[in-house]
Structure 1
């Protein structure tokens, strides 16, 4: 009895005392968690949340079963929390100026914005070729086939660009060129067929022919832009740029306008074909898979949906301007020109946000601090983009003959559409193309219904739709980009 009582008191005393850490015997096997800590010490020290370490473990192929057998932890997240607690936080600054994927020059982005916007001059140069009766609901002649062909081209070429970029990311430039060689002509043919199918009457055949040329140009421009031949595309647009002032001041005849438009189109096609010539040669030994194990076709579909939504919003901005009494029935209008020109600064600001978020990731010592740093970078870049867009729109309105005043609902709608476009591009850049495409596609669909049914003022309807989409996209961006794991390269 006394012996059992002594054992009970002794065990109670042991339970009450704190555990004393004892050194690992020299004959014991090394702790595998210690070995893993030493191997990943730099990664663990730079992490601001255990989930980052868990992502590294999973990317190294460590399954939960392997972790349970080797490290005695139930999952990668539990092991990551243990590793996170073992290593002190350090955030070393990189040596030298920042370089790499997420740093690019402003000049290249501005050049891309310029080649995005200059094709709009074709609508000014070809305006007399689109003469005819006004179509429903009060739209300029040829608008329906032009819109149908343009939207088809944007959807197809966005998806095609993603597939080609995916091949480039895999290091197979020949496969990327082959995908463009096969996909660009198919897209041009599809866009032309859709444009002719959308021509409802004799007065719209001119618009259908114009839209067919537009489809061919979009295909050629996609090839040149994906292969980083922006300067070649700018050279192809030179006859168009030179001929537009002459047409506006001297009133060129229709034949001269057709020659200028055809020359730019022929140059774009020729330069695109020249860029794709290497893809027609037999592959050299070790020249990449060129199709084996490549990206899935389904992975490019969200980008096509993204092109449909964003392209539709820009088109409806131009349509709203025409219906509001803007000049130039077939012209894009200062609002659409400002939106397309702003895509150059928008692209540079995407790089800028990425660089700022990575700097915040290095400087933050907690998940909350990083969320604040990411939100601040997001607000700054979006504000700069909207300021650039506003400046472009004001300048265009002042220079565009007979353009409606930029104020009230038009100004609000423009800034909201700009917010939608930049936020959607940001989400796409971080891999959330499906979410961005769904939101933009729904917004474009709502605009289509409002325009077709004549529901309210087009500018007001556009502002409401764009405002709703802007709120949804900014909320998605805040949730996604506030996580540190979304920013690891």
Structure 2
């Protein structure tokens, strides 16, 4: 022991020289560098949905293909990414904060919109007029304002609020003139019905502005006095002068509110003045390409087709149109809930088949809820439920397809249905059933595709 030296534990060598003839550790006992890399990148690799994501990370870390071949024994970064993807189990952790739901909407707001859609019907109680000019003017207004609203909403989606206001400022007067002209042609003379149709066209244009600008409450308050007066006339005679005052008063208020929403404000005028005072070279050119006019045409035709279907139902029974109009509030809410639930199912489903089943169940559940709402209103009013439920299915599935961008398909189906009901010797139930079945099948096929929910 006299020739040995004691060392403390922390001073002892951790490696020892190899003695000639001593066997080294076998190669299979050495750690796999790919496994070591998989452990180091475990969180990222586990959350990746495709090997290309891992390859992008490897390349961003500066790994060249030569380094990868030398260190990991594979061809390139893509081969290494595939190897890592296979060795690590998929784990997709939930986000720390709840994901943003763009389809969340208040039920009260949707019900309010349904009431706002229905209140103008009381105007026909106060101002009795020949139906033909009013129906012709209403169809024209629905068609024009549907396309105009699409154009304004598109501008808002592009973030150009000024262009949206400008399109409304130019489009509403044109729609008023068209509606009045069609009503006059349908009447043949400039009589009381024509004057009422002109006011109807003006209201449709002004209310379109307020609805696009999300001013439902202001529109409701403007219509309440007129609606209250119309209800009063059902129980007690009201002088013609009072009827006219209520009609013109509500129309004037709605028109003024609409103009205030789209006319340039003082700050906008000041901003344009400052822009003119700037040197020409410092002005920023507006480069956002606006929506082409033809892109709004299918939406206008959609308004014409659905409006024709509703008018046919109204000619059979006025209460059918009233119930469908009131039902637009619940219909909008259920459409938003369907989109929200489908987005949740897209995040939680693990296979395409599971997602298709979840989307189909959601569609059937929301549609059933809407039809039960219509059925309750039908039983309350005592009208025949079968035509109402079938037409309600056509309208709701049409709005659903439109919200998913399938505007051409639903416009074609509704247009064929409107033409068939107008000219073909088919019953309304047959037309509604064929259109509802076709659109429901198309909706099921569309909702089962994950790419449709982008």
Alignment counterpart, residue 274 of structure 1, candidates 244, 256, 260: 260
Q: Which residue of 2 aligns with 1:417?
A: 391
Contact 1:171 1:288 (8 Å CA) reproduced:
no
Contact 1:188 1:219 (8 Å CA) reproduced:
yes
Q: Which residue of 2 aligns with 1:468?
A: 434
Q: Which residue of 2 aligns with 1:15?
A: none
TM-score if structure 1 supplies the norm length? Answer: 0.72
Taking structure 1 as reference, are residues 43 and 237 closer, same or farther at Cα in structure 2, changes over 3 Å only?
Answer: farther
Q: Which residue of 2 aligns with 1:309?
A: 305
- Provide the rounded CA distance (Å) in 2 between the counterparts of 1:238 and 1:288: 46
TM-score if structure 2 supplies the norm length? Answer: 0.77
Contact 1:122 1:261 (8 Å CA) reproduced:
yes
Alignment counterpart, residue 362 of structure 1, candidates 344, 347, 350: 347
Once the two structures are superposed, residues 211-264 of structure 1 have per-residue CA deviations (whole angstroms, 9 ceiling, x without a partner) of 221111000000000001111111210221121122222211222212111111
Q: SS where residue 171 of structure 1 aligns?
A: coil
Unaligned runs of 5+ in 1: 1-21, 25-34, 54-69, 74-80, 131-141, 322-332, 398-404
Pairwise CA distance, 1:287: 12
Contact 2:101 2:340 (8 Å CA) reproduced:
no
- Provide the rounded CA distance (Å) in 2 between the counterparts of 1:296 and 1:389: 37
Q: SS where residue 44 of structure 1 aligns?
A: coil
Pairwise CA distance, 1:99: 4.0
- Provide the rounded CA distance (Å) in 1 between the counterparts of 2:220 and 2:285: 32
- Tell which has more relative contact order, 1 or 2 (C-alpha 8 A, sep 6+): 1
Q: Which residue of 2 aligns with 1:375?
A: 360
Q: Which residue of 2 aligns with 1:401?
A: none
| Pairing of 1:80-91 with structure 2 (within 5 A) | 89-91=90-92
| Pairing of 1:213-252 with structure 2 (within 5 A) | 213-252=199-238
| Corresponding pairs, count | 385
- Provide the rounded CA distance (Å) in 2 between the counterparts of 1:40 and 1:161: 46
Contact 2:327 2:373 (8 Å CA) reproduced:
yes
Taking structure 1 as reference, are residues 255 and 477 closer, same or farther at Cα in structure 2, changes over 3 Å only?
Answer: same
Contact 1:240 1:264 (8 Å CA) reproduced:
yes
- Provide the rounded CA distance (Å) in 1 between the counterparts of 2:377 and 2:298: 30
Pairwise CA distance, 1:95: 4.2
Q: Which residue of 1 aligns with 2:295?
A: 299
| Pairing of 1:8-157 with structure 2 (within 5 A) | 44=49, 89-96=90-97, 99-127=100-128, 130=129, 142-157=130-145
Pairwise CA distance, 1:44: 2.3
Taking structure 1 as reference, are residues 104 and 209 closer, same or farther at Cα in structure 2, changes over 3 Å only?
Answer: same
- Provide the rounded CA distance (Å) in 1 between the counterparts of 2:192 and 2:45: 65
Once the two structures are superposed, residues 257-309 of structure 1 have per-residue CA deviations (whole angstroms, 9 ceiling, x without a partner) of 12111111111100001111236843556999778511111111111111111
- Provide the rounded CA distance (Å) in 1 between the counterparts of 2:327 and 2:334: 11
Taking structure 1 as reference, are residues 290 and 257 closer, same or farther at Cα in structure 2, changes over 3 Å only?
Answer: farther
Q: Which residue of 1 aligns with 2:194?
A: 208
Q: Does 1:432 align with 2:406?
A: yes
Q: Does 1:384 align with 2:373?
A: no
| Structure (1 or 2) with the larger CA radius of gyration | 2
Runs (4+) off by over 3 Å: 38-43, 70-73, 81-100, 278-292
Q: Which residue of 2 aligns with 1:485?
A: 451
- Provide the rounded CA distance (Å) in 1 between the counterparts of 2:201 and 2:140: 8
Contact 2:319 2:383 (8 Å CA) reproduced:
no
Once the two structures are superposed, residues 377-418 of structure 1 have per-residue CA deviations (whole angstroms, 9 ceiling, x without a partner) of 0000000111111222333x2xxxxxxx423xxx21110110
Pairwise CA distance, 1:208: 2.5
Q: CA RMSD in A?
A: 3.3
Q: Does 1:338 align with 2:338?
A: no
Q: Does 1:190 align with 2:167?
A: no
- Provide the rounded CA distance (Å) in 1 between the counterparts of 2:157 and 2:91: 31
Taking structure 1 as reference, are residues 122 and 292 closer, same or farther at Cα in structure 2, changes over 3 Å only?
Answer: same
Unaligned runs of 5+ in 2: 1-31, 35-40, 54-75, 276-281
Pairwise CA distance, 1:187: 0.7
- Provide the rounded CA distance (Å) in 2 between the counterparts of 1:106 and 1:83: 48
